[in-house]
Chains A and B, each alone.
Chain A
Amino acid sequence: MDAIDLSELAPKRRAHIVAIDQDPGPNHLDLRLCEMGFAEGMSVEVLHRAPFGGDPIAVLLGETLIAMRLDEARRVKVSLEDYPIPSANRPENKVAQ
């Protein structure tokens, strides 16, 4: 399974989180991401990119819109493949655009 950084994810493509990288630094980014609701198996989609260079991005995490910088998004590994376990956050009636 090929995982890419959330920061690399093309807009309007639904993916799911496969891993959140540990952050040994003082910012504890991994913990903060978890606190904002980032977790393995959650669906993500990049909805908007900010002006002046596309950073930060607005990510639809489940059904919550989160603003984050690419630095933060790089810690989140996502996969475009179908998530094998039926998950409450993946609505079946959602049509990919």
Chain B
Amino acid sequence: MTHPPSVSRAANTAGSPITIAVVGNPNAGKTSLFNALTGARQKVANYPGVTVERVSAHLQLPDGREAELMDLPGTYSLTPRSPDEEVTRNVVMGTQAGEQKPAAILSVIDATNLRNHLRFVLELKRLGLPMVLALNMSDLAERDGYKFDLAKLSELLGMPVIPTVAVRKRGLDAILAALPDAIDQTPTAALSALDVRSLNREAQSIARTVTLAEGHLSTLTRAIDRVVLHPVAGVIVLASILFVMFQAVFAWAEGPMTWIEDGIAWLQELAEATIANDWLLSLVNDGVLAGVGSVVVFLPQILILFAFIITLEQSGYMTRAAFLMDRLMAKVGLNGRAFIPLLSSFACAIPGIMATRSIDNPRDRLTTILIAPLMTCAARLPVYTVIIAAFIPDTTLTGGIGLQGLVMFGLYLFGIVAALVVAAVLRRTLTRGLAQPFLLEMPKYQMPRLRDLLIGLGQRGMAFLKRAGTIIMASTVLLWVFATYPKPPEDATAPDIEYSIAGYLGRGLEVIFKPIGFNYEISLALVPGMAAREVAVSALGTVYALQGDEDEVTTSLVERLRTAWPLPTALAFLAWFVFAPQCLSTLAVTKRETNGWRWPLFMFGYLFALAYVFAGATFWIATAILG
């Protein structure tokens, strides 16, 4: 996504690159316009605060010059309220470290929200930089009945005004044509900042002058909102969307998962037929293929989950969900705004924690970061799926609801409830403080674009496969080494693995985990699971695949677990993974976002304690009930 500066420099004959900053309010379609202009493969979403990192792309201007276009985080003003808004302010003021002041500003505003967005344009204009104004979503504005005198607007603002429709790539040539003139202008001296009320008055007066016909919030948006924001129907819709999402993750993924499993089995047979060396064959089949294969098989489920989340973001529904959830969040001292990062955390806690940058109150933000890992991330799906498939009967309850899907839903719910309780406790102790205001613009509904969905899914799928190909493969190979060496003595009676490093390591940890019902294979699998949670599954795959003869190796992991684990152990393992403290990447991103080791260590400690207590309780209660 982010082009290295050297590329732009090399391409630019003038020496240092000409930079043009793309600035605008959230929901103005700024990122869509940026993508349309540059072709950059970047996430496009519909809720405020989605752009949290510096994104730039190379742009060829019609006069042959090269420029670097920078997509800055959306903001309502130059008074920063959150870390990402501060970046925007610093860049356009020329005070961002390592960043030169842009040569011009491409300001993007939503044509259906002219009056309010103009205020920010006026504020930017006082900086003295040359500007070009993109009046985006002009098709929607026209449809909703708005008519503007663009020549007058351009005259009053003293800058070119170009109507655009970013998602349909309309107006792009006109923007490109206007940019060379803009960057050739000499910046004027910055005027002193004006207070927000005066800016508002000026914006109102300009809007009144140039608005020839006033439109209305689209009737479609209002009609949808009458249902989805209804106090009763809205909650039912939200709950249904979440329920369908989790059922779909199970039902739709079945076919593709079988294909992947068959593919892995085919590769293993191929390896058997072509690799003569026993040692190498064992490394390839039992280490690499068994380990990585048992993780890659979950790609379909992860893609389905992301497809739902991306679609909800793009359609504009995500902010409605935040509205519906705000009361519940407020009860535990959080804010509806935290709902968006938390929902992203269902895919992975890392983007979720990074998305908390849009929460301006530091205490709210810290609380949200600390509970983000309790949202069941996609990496836990493999673990849940295997255990559920092995121990929960595949029966259908009345109403066509699968019992396995229901258990999955219950586990997600358990994580959410735990998160709310933890948040409530934190807000009364460690992160006590004034409540943050909840003010959120709810954008018009928009049809999600298939192209943007596919780009988003491609990015996520690749990121997952990269993890499977690097961290996960490295840890499964390491585990294979642990499980293979040292070799058993000649007169060995127990399975080979009992004599290996892994055997000893597992037995050591077993002392800690035995009270909560974990056998030593589990204890062992939790260690490589530090790299990524889903590795626990591949680790189990490796450990069990190595434990028997050829026939047993080919028996699937599900079958193995069914015979190897008592039910209380399986349930305790599920409970453990609701909290699952072990994920190095989450701890690393928490360290980065909180500037120190204090909070990631606290996070690890409290998650470990809760995981231990709840897994133990599950084990002992299940043992008591089942005898």
Among A53, A64, A68, point to the contact of B113 (Cβ < 8 A): A64
Say yes or no: is B330 at the interface (Cβ < 8 Å to chain A): yes
Among B144, B232, B442, point to the contact of A58 (Cβ < 8 A): B442
**Contact across chains for A50 and B116 when beta carbons are under 8 A apart:** no
**Contact across chains for A39 and B208 when beta carbons are under 8 A apart:** no
Among B201, B231, B437, point to the contact of A50 (Cβ < 8 A): B231
Within 8 A of A (CB), among B435-453: 435-442
Q: Digit string of A36-72 for contact with B (CB within 8 Å is 1, else 0)? A: 1101010000011111111110101011111111011
A33–B438 CA distance with the chains assembled, in angstroms: 11
Min CB–CB distance A84 → chain B (angstroms): 15
Within 8 A of A (CB), among B204-232: 204, 207-208, 211, 214-217, 221-222, 225, 229-232
**Contact across chains for A36 and B116 when beta carbons are under 8 A apart:** yes
Among B113, B208, B326, point to the contact of A69 (Cβ < 8 A): B326
Min CB–CB distance B136 → chain A (angstroms): 15
Report chain A residues within 8 Å CB of B285.
none
Min CB–CB distance A20 → chain B (angstroms): 8
Say yes or no: is A2 at the interface (Cβ < 8 Å to chain B): no
Report chain A residues within 8 Å CB of B235.
51
Say yes or no: is B598 at the interface (Cβ < 8 Å to chain A): no
Specify the main secondary structure of chain A where it touches its partner. Answer: loop
A1–B60 CA distance with the chains assembled, in angstroms: 58
Min CB–CB distance B440 → chain A (angstroms): 4
**Contact across chains for A26 and B434 when beta carbons are under 8 A apart:** yes
Q: Which of chain A's residues has its CB closest to B229's CB?
A: A48
**Contact across chains for B438 and A56 when beta carbons are under 8 A apart:** yes
Q: Which of chain B's residues has its CB closest to A62's CB?
A: B115
Q: Size range of the interface on B?
A: 35 or more
**Contact across chains for B323 and A31 when beta carbons are under 8 A apart:** no
Say yes or no: is B54 at the interface (Cβ < 8 Å to chain A): no
Within 8 A of B (CB), among A1-37: 25-27, 29, 31-37
The segment from B76-84, B179-187, B399-407, B574-582 found at the interface with A is B76-84
Report chain A residues within 8 Å CB of B152.
none
**Contact across chains for B434 and A56 when beta carbons are under 8 A apart:** no
Min CB–CB distance B530 → chain A (angstroms): 39
Among B204, B214, B231, B322, point to the contact of A39 (Cβ < 8 A): B204
**Contact across chains for B116 and A32 when beta carbons are under 8 A apart:** no
**Contact across chains for B437 and A27 when beta carbons are under 8 A apart:** yes
Report chain B residues within 8 Å CB of A35.
76-77, 79, 119, 196
A73–B201 CA distance with the chains assembled, in angstroms: 21
**Contact across chains for A67 and B215 when beta carbons are under 8 A apart:** no
A27-B437, A52-B327, A69-B326 known; A88 vs B231 contact (CB < 8 Å): no
Min CB–CB distance A59 → chain B (angstroms): 10
**Contact across chains for B442 and A72 when beta carbons are under 8 A apart:** no
Min CB–CB distance B365 → chain A (angstroms): 15
Say yes or no: is B8 at the interface (Cβ < 8 Å to chain A): no
Q: Size range of the interface on A?
A: 35 or more
Report chain A residues within 8 Å CB of B440.
66-68
Min CB–CB distance B67 → chain A (angstroms): 30
A60–B144 CA distance with the chains assembled, in angstroms: 15
The A/B interface has a contact count, at CB < 8 Å, of 129
**Contact across chains for B232 and A51 when beta carbons are under 8 A apart:** yes
Within 8 A of A (CB), among B82-134: 112-113, 115-116, 119
Among B115, B435, B437, B439, point to the contact of A88 (Cβ < 8 A): B115
Say yes or no: is B138 at the interface (Cβ < 8 Å to chain A): no
Say yes or no: is B463 at the interface (Cβ < 8 Å to chain A): no
Min CB–CB distance A42 → chain B (angstroms): 8
Say yes or no: is B49 at the interface (Cβ < 8 Å to chain A): no
**Contact across chains for A39 and B217 when beta carbons are under 8 A apart:** no
A56-B438, A64-B441 known; A34 vs B197 contact (CB < 8 Å): yes
Min CB–CB distance B492 → chain A (angstroms): 63
Report chain B residues within 8 Å CB of A26.
434
Min CB–CB distance B362 → chain A (angstroms): 11
Say yes or no: is B234 at the interface (Cβ < 8 Å to chain A): yes
A51-B234, A65-B225, A67-B439 known; A56 vs B112 contact (CB < 8 Å): no
Min CB–CB distance A25 → chain B (angstroms): 7
A39-B204, A63-B112, A67-B439 known; A51 vs B196 contact (CB < 8 Å): no
Report chain B residues within 8 Å CB of A52.
231, 327-328
**Contact across chains for B215 and A71 when beta carbons are under 8 A apart:** no
Min CB–CB distance A16 → chain B (angstroms): 13
Report chain A residues within 8 Å CB of B119.
35, 37
A48-B225, A51-B327, A65-B441 known; A41 vs B434 contact (CB < 8 Å): no
**Contact across chains for B116 and A62 when beta carbons are under 8 A apart:** yes
**Contact across chains for A88 and B327 when beta carbons are under 8 A apart:** no
A36-B439, A36-B441, A62-B115 known; A50 vs B196 contact (CB < 8 Å): no
Say yes or no: is B319 at the interface (Cβ < 8 Å to chain A): yes
**Contact across chains for A27 and B434 when beta carbons are under 8 A apart:** yes
A56–B216 CA distance with the chains assembled, in angstroms: 23
A35–B81 CA distance with the chains assembled, in angstroms: 11
Report chain A residues within 8 Å CB of B431.
none
**Contact across chains for A69 and B216 when beta carbons are under 8 A apart:** no
**Contact across chains for A32 and B442 when beta carbons are under 8 A apart:** no
Q: Digit string of B311-354 for contact with A (CB within 8 Å is 1, else 0)? A: 00000000100111011101000001000000000000000000
**Contact across chains for B196 and A34 when beta carbons are under 8 A apart:** yes
Report chain A residues within 8 Å CB of B113.
37, 63-64
**Contact across chains for A91 and B230 when beta carbons are under 8 A apart:** no
Report chain A residues within 8 Å CB of B201.
39
A63–B204 CA distance with the chains assembled, in angstroms: 14
**Contact across chains for B336 and A56 when beta carbons are under 8 A apart:** yes
Say yes or no: is B200 at the interface (Cβ < 8 Å to chain A): yes
Within 8 A of A (CB), among B226-265: 229-232, 234-235
Min CB–CB distance B81 → chain A (angstroms): 7
**Contact across chains for A63 and B229 when beta carbons are under 8 A apart:** no
6 CB-based A-B contacts, threshold 8 Å: A35-B76, A47-B225, A66-B439, A67-B439, A68-B439, A69-B437
Q: A47-B222, A48-B229 are in contact. List 16 more A-B contacts (CB 8 A).
A: A25-B434, A27-B434, A31-B196, A36-B116, A39-B197, A47-B229, A50-B229, A51-B232, A56-B323, A56-B327, A56-B438, A62-B116, A63-B113, A65-B217, A71-B435, A88-B211
